[in-house]
Amino acid sequence: MTGIATNGWRRIALAVIGMAAALGLAGPAAAAEKVVFGLDWQVLGRHAGYMLALERGFYKDEGLDVEIQRGYGSADAVKRVGAGTVTFSFGDAGSLVIARTESIKVKLVAMVYGRAPHALWIRKDAGVQKPTDLEGKTIGGSAGSAVRLLFPAFAKLAGVDASKVKWLTLDAASLYPTLFSKRIDAMVDFVPGWPTVSKRAAEAKVELERMMYVDYGFTVYSNGILAREETIRDKPETVRKFVAATLKGLDLAFKSPAEAAQALKRRYPEVDEETARAEVEIVRELAWTDEAKKNGLGFMSADKMKTTRDIMTETYNLKLAVPVDDLYTNAFLPK
């Protein structure tokens, strides 16, 4: 009788567990927390690591249900996370310094572009051999572009009179055609965009050269993962889980750029796989700085953050020198 009774209770218990699972009352999926991650721009190869994290279930393993949304510039990325429109965003440290003076309480919780990616694509026939040759030229860029926002800082370091440079505000779809048709002499972009622009320039039979801000002393932090102070204070475990899964996806992408490109293409068929792979390789060089190799992917130092803050404060004559500790935290990086 005892064996029969035990078997009976076992069947009842299994039935209850089965009903709970069917109703969504059991299992990690039921507890998944909804998180929105805003990018800095439209989805491109440079974002493949995040898609790989999604595909491999890294976010799901942390109990997170992550939605990735396109962005409209790094400056806008800071504002969106500050407004709570997204939970986390991929935005620029320089834009963050300005935002903090406007009482937008956001911090970097992990660095990705530890090496400044800011670049200019210049038509070879524009006759720009050195930065000062940009005076009198017309540069195209979107209103929210961090590269455009930080041009005055680069100009000062490179000895360029920024007031002599003309700007044409364009949306993403218009940048390449406008450059190739010679309506502008150059355009601003992040260096991961080089595989795409060089390919399209070759198709248009246009020769391009690139100029990197970092080659003229612009040694600052750029894009990383941003979170609101409110989220950091009230949901520290969510921040920790998101950072861990994101860095895991990036690390895997850097080890296998082709796999990351394939994961991106499965979600966005319009993406050119070879171009995406090349972008991932460029991002790897931006992220795996000597500092990251020593301290771990995502790490930020007080000294370099101070340099970033000081360049922005001086360039834009900011009335408030934002405390460095208000700009970042390494507390959520994997140990």
How many CB atoms neighbour CB 269 within 10 A? 8
Find the mean pLDDT for residues 187-200: 95
Q: List every span in the chain annotated with CATH 3.40.190.10.
A: 29-114+220-326, 118-216
**pTM of this prediction exceeds 0.95:** no
**Is the model's pLDDT at 187 over the cut of 80?**
yes
Judge whether 60 and 282 are in contact, CB under 8 Å: no
Rounded to the nearest integer, the mean pLDDT of the chain is 91
Helix (H, G, I), strand (E, B) or coil at 251: helix
Q: What CATH number belongs to 118-216?
A: 3.40.190.10
Residue 10 binned pLDDT confidence (cut-offs 50, 70, 90): low
Architecture of domain 29-114+220-326: 3-Layer(aba) Sandwich (3.40)
64-69 and 33-38 beta bridge pairing: parallel
SS3 content of the chain, % helix, strand, coil (to 5): 55, 15, 30
pLDDT of residue 12: 47
Joined together, the tokens standing for residue 72 give: 């409209």
**Lowest mean pLDDT across 21-25, 50-54, 282-286, 308-312:** 21-25
φ, ψ for residue 197 (rounded to 5)? -65, -35
Helix (H, G, I), strand (E, B) or coil at 169: strand
